[in-house]
Amino acid sequence: MSAELFSLKGKVVVITGATRGIGEGMVTGLAEAGAEIILVHRGATDPSRVVDKLTKIGAKVHTIAAELENSDEVKRILPEALKKSSTGKVDVLVNNAGITHRDKVEDYPDEEWDRVINVNLTSLFKLARAFGKYWISNNLKGKIINTASLYSFFGGLNVAAYTASKGAVHSLTQALSNEWVGKGINVNSIVPGFIKTDMTDGLKNNPDRLNFVTSRIPVGEFGKPEDFKGPVVFLASAASDYISGSSTFVDGGYTA
Ligand code: NAD
């Protein structure tokens, strides 16, 4: 009974930013739970290592190359996904891709502000809008899972655009949920704490900051991409049907 509740057999999941890091952990869990996967990756990024890994698990996997900074490419994602899906439908959207740029506010370049807001927030909104419209107009149920951040809740240092974008991901998740949960679309976010990925790799050059951050994690160490398997499967599956507008913290109990 409970295994069935968490099963994603017959479900088609579209996920961005899953060629490495947290997204790779998520997509591995989704494939293990039986989902068919449509990986959205940057044209310049080769998805074959992850595709091979998921295929070995037994998943059906498709890829779509799209640059989330470019709104025309974002527009292509849903129609291409529907063409590739073996059921002709898509059931879950995971908006996980994200970038950051570090600079003091006084020196923050306009183009980096635009880039971070475009990838982390605007593309997420446009994808959610397209998928929501598709589910509503076809009388289908859907689930959206957005990757937020602890910086959705408190400001980071030297990452103004990232903090602004992730704060908005949190509030947008609630706004979408308010409009859509009554129409059968659950919208939730996953909130990573400090996770060992390329995004946090630079901290090794700043041992004081690394020690400070680690001292705030009661579990005693950074999280791993695999820590996201269970939470994403839960939020993608029928097990979470009565949950919407919520934030699932995956942060080792981080205390600010
Ligand atoms: P990562 O850099 O390893 O992965 C980011 C992914 O996004 C990659 O697959 C990359 O190719 C993709 N991506 C980036 N720009 C893109 C673009 N323009 N178009 C399409 N795809 C693009 O980082 P990660 O740590 O795995 O981050 C994943 C998510 O988790 C991000 O949204 C990030 O903000 C969030 N997050 C990470 C941490 C952490 O500690 N690592 C903490 C909080 C939130």
- 253 contacts 222 by C-beta, under 8 angstroms: no
- 220 contacts 42 by C-beta, under 8 angstroms: no
- Angle CA(248)–CA(253)–CA(256) in degrees, nearest 5? 100
For CA atoms 57, 61, 64, 69, give the dihedral sign.
negative
Element (H, E) at 190: strand 185-192
- The tokens for 58 are 């037994």
Q: How confident is the model at residue 244 (pLDDT cuts 50, 70, 90)?
A: very high
The residue written with tokens 């974002």 in the block is 74
The predicted model scores a pTM of: 0.98
pLDDT in tens, 163-197: 999 999 999 999 999 999 999 999 999 999 999 99
Beta carbon of 163 within 6 Å of any ligand 1 atom: no
pLDDT in tens, 103-139: 999 999 999 999 999 999 999 999 999 999 999 999 9
How confident is the model at residue 114, as a pLDDT? 98
Query: ipTM for the complex?
Result: 0.99
Question: Which of 39, 67, 99, 127 maximizes ligand 1 atoms within 8 Å of its Cβ, making it the mutation to test the pocket?
Answer: 99
Q: What are the Cα distances from residue 62, in Å, to 35, 40, 59?
A: 12, 9, 10
Single out the catalytic residue among 134, 151, 162, 254.
162
Beta carbon of 142 within 6 Å of any ligand 1 atom: no
Non-local (6+) Cβ contacts of 114 within 8 A are: none
Beta carbon of 23 within 6 Å of any ligand 1 atom: yes
Q: Can 162 be counted among the known catalytic residues?
A: yes
